[in-house]
Amino acid sequence: MATDKNLELFERARALIPGGVNSPVRAFRAVGGTPRFVARAQGAYFWDANGDRYIDYIGSWGPMILGHGHPRVLEAVQKAATEGFSFGAPTEREIELAEEIVKHLPAVEMVRLVSSGTEAAMSAIRLARGATGRSHIIKFEGCYHGHADALLVKAGSGLATFGHPTSAGVPPEVVQHTLVLEYNNVALLEEAFATHGADLACVVIEPIAGNMNFVRASVPFMRRLRELCTQHGALLVFDEVMTGFRVALGSAQSVYAKAIPGFKPDLTVLGKVIGGGMPLAAFGGPRAVMEQLAPLGPVYQAGTLSGNPVATACGLATLKEITQPSFFPALAKKTQALVDGLKAAASEAGVPFAADCEGGMFGFFLLPELPQNYPAVMKSDAPRFGKLFHGLLDRGVYIAPALYEAGFVSSAHSDEDIARTVEAAGEVFRSLRT
């Protein structure tokens, strides 16, 4: 029997790196088995240490909207690298990337580039607190905004409660101003604003939550949230690290603007696609709020590698490609074909299955209908998902190795890739029935 190089690498990694990985979900703890160590990637595929090829539906958790190794992106990165890796001083490309972001997001008049989604969300909340002079914030159970201390909290049951840390190392007093509510629950939202409205600096939300798989904020919920924030002077912060330039050219906020006339968030957090696979993120909003940032205002934020010249080259080249008029209609068509195919295959096999998608982002649940909040998501069949995951993996299809993560389609995925994926899923679904 051939040696499993993935297992060899995992054993080496576990001796030196906690859990053998540098981000927890990569460890396969939720599904069991040995993580695949990627040797290389191209287009819609990656190859592991054994040389086995997989159709990739995580795409570095969203950034690879063009697939891996897009020639024009690769050319831009290679050219930038020859000019210098990092300067600690401004470059023109930072301005060009900011211009591209502002062009497509009407809610954003100014933007600050940073290096990670965690950094961007943390900074946006600090800015909201500085701009309003208030301390309290609202987040929603099941939404992930990075691993900043104040955001690592969960909800109590029943009525709205202030959160308690969900990570060791986070003192309770750090999260004492973080209120955690149930996603898509208008009644709790209204109660929270009635009780704490005068003290709320902001509400931070994933408009389409991608960390409890794929759950949309309903239009009535989002409309009421916008109304309450405006009424009470709290800033509405859209965490679009995952959805930004992924679900639409105008991001998720443009999807809600179509349903809610005049809709805009106050602050927007971006990441993933705007870096094209490089460490790059951003937050932005109206000029009057953004000018509260240092060096113009009293809210401090800084970063040695912010606006890194190689990362901005990668992000700018990626954004130039996805702004082509036909790009998002074609991407959405592929993603919808995948979702429709999976639904049909599950239905034929008699397996409970619900799925949804927007643009190049999708999610599914082994449930008879789409959940609307975290408690409903938690009812999904975890053991059956583990079997589905490994069944697909054995057939060369790589989806998220966790029940509560969204998936991503790239422009590099072909119709044949989609068909092969649906065929593989059908085989696994039939095995789950018995």
| 332-376 residue pLDDT tens | 999 999 999 999 999 999 999 999 999 999 999 999 999 999 999
| Residue-averaged pLDDT of the chain | 94
pLDDT of 81 higher than 90: yes
**What CATH number does the domain located at 5-69+325-433 have?**
3.90.1150.10
**Band (111; pLDDT cuts 50, 70, 90):** very high
CA separation for the pair 348, 342 (Å, rounded): 10
Annotated catalytic residue, options 139, 264, 272, 334: 272
**Band (434; pLDDT cuts 50, 70, 90):** low
> What pLDDT is recorded for position 156?
34
Q: Which residues, at least 6 apart from 379, have a Cβ–Cβ distance to it below 8 Å?
A: 367, 371
Specify whether 300 is catalytic.
Answer: no
| 166-199 residue pLDDT tens | 778 888 888 889 999 999 999 999 999 999 999 9
Annotated catalytic residue, options 45, 57, 144, 374: 144
> Amino acid identity of 24?
P
> What pLDDT is recorded for position 155?
36
Specify whether 144 is catalytic.
Answer: yes
> What pLDDT is recorded for position 154?
62
Quick one: average pLDDT of 300-317? 97
Specify whether 258 is catalytic.
Answer: no
State which CATH number among 1.10.540.10, 3.40.50.150, 3.40.50.300, 3.40.640.10 fits the domain covering 71-322: 3.40.640.10
Annotated catalytic residue, options 48, 56, 239, 417: 239
Q: Which residues, at least 6 apart from 175, have a Cβ–Cβ distance to it below 8 Å?
A: 149, 150, 152, 153, 162, 163, 164, 165
Same fold, 5-69+325-433 and 71-322: no
Q: How far is CA 262 from CA 85, 108, 216, 228, in A?
A: 41, 14, 19, 15
Domain ranges in the chain are 5-69+325-433, 71-322
pLDDT of 269 higher than 50: yes
> What pLDDT is recorded for position 158?
34
Tell me the whole-structure pTM to 2 decimals.
0.95
